[in-house]
Every structure is written in structure tokens, then in C-alpha cells.
Amino acid sequence: MIERLAVIGVGLIGGSLARALKSAETVGEVIGCGRSRENLELALELGVIDGFSCDPAEAVRDADMVFIAVPLGAIARVFERIRGQLSEAAVVTDGGSVKGSVVADAKRVFGEIPPWLVPGHPIAGTEHNGVASSFPELYRHRRVILTPLAQTDADARARVRAMWEQTGAEVTEMSVAHHDEVLAATSHLPHMLAFGLVDALSRMRSNDEIFRYAAGGFRDFTRIASSSPEMWRDICLANADALSTMLARFGAEMGKLSETIRREDGETLLRIFERARAARDRYVDGVGAEGDGSSRADKTPD
């Protein structure tokens, strides 16, 4: 049971955690915090939070759990504002999509990794942002990755794990570096391709005609290109090394695939497509399927 939860950044991720814990009845009071009053008032109206402050220092007062869910570029400033303001019992965790940058920010602001900080990342989300898009089931059957450090307090870790389990999520742990590599591959790279593709097409001569003939596959493929530009800029900057390496490698592979097509090497093409289909069918729609989908709609064959 959390008595007082402070949510810094009451958007899709922060709002959904608050809603999930409220509907599980495992939280007493939720205090929101953000930049704009309007958003916090909306969150209050929606029943996502019970009170708010625009000052993180005030919001965390007497909180036993603090969840930071602002864009990655804003996390250091939140750390600065809450330094020295936390109660004795407080545990702090976050939902940032990259963990290396959060840990580096913490080290810089606090001088060392605080034992009460448990970096985390829910592998769940949508291309819609804002508290109005938040919903209590967002984390159900999804994975949440925690990346505790050697310094992390065992009790803090257990409390953060318990909180996520109350939302219906499955909690796993891994190292910070491993998290950032895995996510570069499965999330950050695909987002770059989707943003890059839509941007490339929008710069083509007859781009309105081009989009007119885009079919359903295209719509699914590019859905993630409707995600928040600021959030993704921050993710790129926070995971620049792993992501730029992976993207450069992928760009070169596409150059090679282009050559394979140009020399009309049907056998190699078939092998690549077969390997890809088998992998996707096995991992994405097979083992990993339940609970890994972000869609609330039950997907029929399309």
C-alpha cells in the first residue's frame, strides 16, 4: 500500500500509473506535479490525481513513493528540485525510456546514485500523449523493466516492484546498459524508421498523392510516427550511442538489400523474407504475443 504517491509529469505514463493504482485500491492519495496548471487541473477533474503542485519540491513532501514521468530531458531538473526535499521513507522511480541518461543525471545531481532511486521503464505506451489518453489498463500484462544498481536499497526495489505488479504488469530486471541496447533495437530503431519513412515520403514531389495510395499496412507501419516529437528527441539524445550505431548499421543493411534487389537475386530475397516471417510469427505473435500488444482493440487478421 502506498500512502501518498507523487507523480511528476501527469501524462500518458504517469496518469496511467495513478489510474491503475487507484483502481487496484493500493494507493491512498495521489499528488500530481507538472509544468502547466491547465494539465493538472484536467488531471484533477478526471480523478487521476487528488491534488497538485507546480513545484516538485512541494509535490514530494510526505510522499512515500515518487514516480517521475516527464520527458527524459526534464528529469535532471526534477532531481534538482526534489534534492533534500524527500521524506525519510520515500522511494523514487521513473518511467523514462532510456536508463543510462537517468542514472547519469542522478549521479550528477546527487553526487552518487541514491539508494532510494530505482530506475524503471514500463514497456507499454501508445502514440498518444497527455493525461486525457491515460487509462488504468495500460500496464496490464505488459513488462516493466527495472534497472537497479549495486547501490540500490533492497527494500526500495521491492516496493517499486510491488507497485508495478499491482498494475498487472510483469516486472523484470536487467542492467542499465543492456536495457538501453535492447530498447534501441526493439523500440528506438523502429521509431526512427517510421519517422524517417513518413518524413521522406512527405518530402517527395507528389507527396499528397503518395499518401493517398497508402494502404492499411502503411497505416500500421507508421502509427508510431504519430508519437510525441519532443519525447523522441529526448530519447534519441539520451540513447545517442546505442541508437546511432544501430541505425547506421541498419542503413547499411538496407543499402545491401537494395543491391540484392538490383541484381535480382531472388533466392537471397526469399531467404531474408522467410527468416523474417518465421521470426515475427514465432516471437511476436507467438510466445511474446499475450500482453505485448499496445492495442486495446483485439486485432483481427488484417
Ligand X SMILES: NC(=O)c1ccc[n+]([C@@H]2O[C@H](COP(=O)([O-])OP(=O)(O)OC[C@H]3O[C@@H](n4cnc5c(N)ncnc54)[C@H](OP(=O)(O)O)[C@@H]3O)[C@@H](O)[C@H]2O)c1
Q: Which residues bind to ligand X, rule: CB under 6 A?
A: 9-14, 34-36, 39, 69-72, 74, 95-97, 121-122, 125-126, 129-130, 228, 231, 235
Q: In this complex, which beta carbon is closest to ligand X, that of residue 77 or of residue 249?
A: 77
Q: Residue 252 Cβ, how far from ligand X at the closest point, in Å?
A: 28
Interface pattern 260-279 for a second copy (x via CB under 8 A): -xx-x-x--xx-xxxxxx-x
70 binds, among ligand X, a second copy, none (CB under 5 to 8 A by kind): ligand X
Q: Which of 270, 241, 16, 223 has its CA nearest to residue 140?
A: 16
225 belongs to the binding site for a second copy (CB under 8 A): yes
Q: Of ligand X, a second copy, none, which one does residue 147 interact with (CB within 5 to 8 Å by kind)?
A: none
Cell, residue 82:
526534489
Compare residues 53 and 260 and give the one whose CB is closer to ligand X. 53
| 247 lines the binding site for a second copy (CB under 8 A) | yes
Comparison of 109 and 174: residue with beta carbon closer to a second copy: 174
**Which distant-in-sequence residues (6+ apart) come within 8 Å of 113 by Cβ?**
103, 106, 107, 149, 151, 152
Residue 300 within binding range of a second copy, rule CB under 8 A: yes
CB distance 62 to 4 below 8 Å: yes
Which 187-216 residues touch a second copy, going by CB under 8 A?
187, 189-202, 204, 206-216
Pick 9 or 148: Cβ nearer ligand X: 9
The C-alpha cell of 59 is what? 509535490
Q: Give 64's Cβ-side CA count (13 Å radius).
A: 14
Residue 221 contacts a second copy per CB under 8 A: yes
User: Which residues ranging from 34 to 73 are in contact with a second copy (CB under 8 A)?
Assistant: none
Q: Using a CB cutoff of 8 Å and minimum separation of 24, what contacts does 218-224 make?
A: 220/302, 221/194, 221/197, 222/194, 222/197, 222/198, 223/127, 223/194, 224/127, 224/190, 224/191, 224/194, 224/195
Q: Do 31 and 7 form a contact (C-beta atoms < 8 A)?
A: yes
Strand-pair partners of 21: none
Over the window 100 to 139, marking each residue x when it contacts a second copy by CB under 8 A and - when it does not, the resulting string is -----------------------xxxxxx----x------
